[in-house]
Chains A and B, each alone.
Chain A
Amino acid sequence: MAGHASNDEFFTQLASLIDKQQQKGHGSVYMTQKRLSYDANAATPTSAKVADDPLWDLHPPNPLPLLVRATDGKSQCKDRKKHKNKVKISTVVQPDEIESFFARYADVCKAGMQSLKKRDRSKRKKDKKKKAPAAGGEVKKA
């Protein structure tokens, strides 16, 4: 497996992955986030279990980065063999970048997920708007 992509690369790849499934008309996108408790640079895991403390992970000395992954869920072909074309991207989010990362993450998801129900789709709301000026008291209550 290739290393983690940078946050920028992750977003461009995630956008294209969502777009691909959207164009295809069906399919899934799985996005996972978890604490990154393994440091590739260190020989041993950074958050090694502290002896005699079963709750060693509840109060780490430093904030830990997050690992965010995205796949298309195509781990198997129809003939139960490993899928060659599985899309699998991952990135590491540093603790101080969490807020900016999730702001962009939300934008990418909002832009990409076009098959969800839209807000102004129903005719009922239009009817309500028409009724609204006629019956102002009811609207205030609602």
Chain B
Amino acid sequence: MVYLGTSEEWQHHSALLLQARPTTARITTKYKIPNIDTPKYQKLKKRKRDGETDEKDATAPKVPKAWLVLKTYDPESGVVLKFKTDRAADVGRLINGLGRLGRHMAALPVKEEAPAHSVTQSEPASHQAPEAAAPRPKEIAPATVDAKAQQGSGGGGGKKKKKGKK
């Protein structure tokens, strides 16, 4: 279980994991509002009361602060990538990121934005595209075997490294 530092990092590693394991990997988004009445949070309050009574009033939030955890999990390789945030400003960006990752899951091409920007240029390019696309799958088929194997092991390696740090 690894918490990644930035959402971009999470997005990048999740994309790699989904490319390697598009069928088994899943993304879970958890939105949690903690129950401040539970013993877990009561204990924290009591500790503060004992030590710093004045600061307790300032720090103790009456309204529970929620957080959002994004988790990419692949049961086959056991890789877990997590990202946690408590900022409302992140939500829109993260969900759009989920949409982009969803394209990997659906086995759609990564970006549709590219042809939209170069509409005029894409016309001659589109003629070339079928010719170029035709040999590609044959080339890729053996190439992906190596590439994906490396990605899988690389992902596992990265996970172990990060575990070691924390």
Contact = CB atoms under 8 A, between A and B. Distances in A.
Interface of A: 18, 21-22, 24-35, 37, 47, 55, 57-60, 62-66, 73, 93, 95, 98-99, 101-103, 105-106, 109-110, 112-119
B137 A59 contact: yes
A64 B106 contact: yes
Given A106-B91, A116-B65, A116-B88, 19 more contacts: A21-B33, A25-B33, A26-B36, A26-B37, A30-B30, A31-B28, A31-B30, A35-B23, A35-B106, A58-B144, A59-B137, A59-B140, A59-B141, A60-B107, A98-B102, A116-B67, A116-B68, A117-B88, A119-B88
A116 B105 CA distance: 28
A58 B101 CA distance: 15
Interface of B: 19-23, 25-37, 63-68, 85-92, 95-96, 98-99, 101-103, 105-108, 112, 137, 140-141, 144-145, 148
B86 A33 contact: no
A31 B141 CA distance: 34
19 contacts: A25-B64, A28-B30, A28-B31, A30-B30, A31-B29, A31-B30, A32-B26, A33-B101, A37-B23, A58-B144, A62-B107, A64-B107, A95-B107, A102-B98, A106-B95, A109-B92, A109-B95, A116-B66, A116-B88
Contact of A34 (B26, B68, B86, B87): B26
A59 B138 CA distance: 11
A27 B31 CA distance: 8
Contacts of A62: 107
Contacts, number: 146
B98 A58 contact: no
A33 B98 contact: yes
B33 A59 contact: no
A117 B102 contact: no
A59 B26 contact: no
Contact of B28 (A24, A30, A66): A30
A35 B66 CA distance: 28
A34 B106 CA distance: 9
Contacts of B19: 58
Contacts of B21: 57
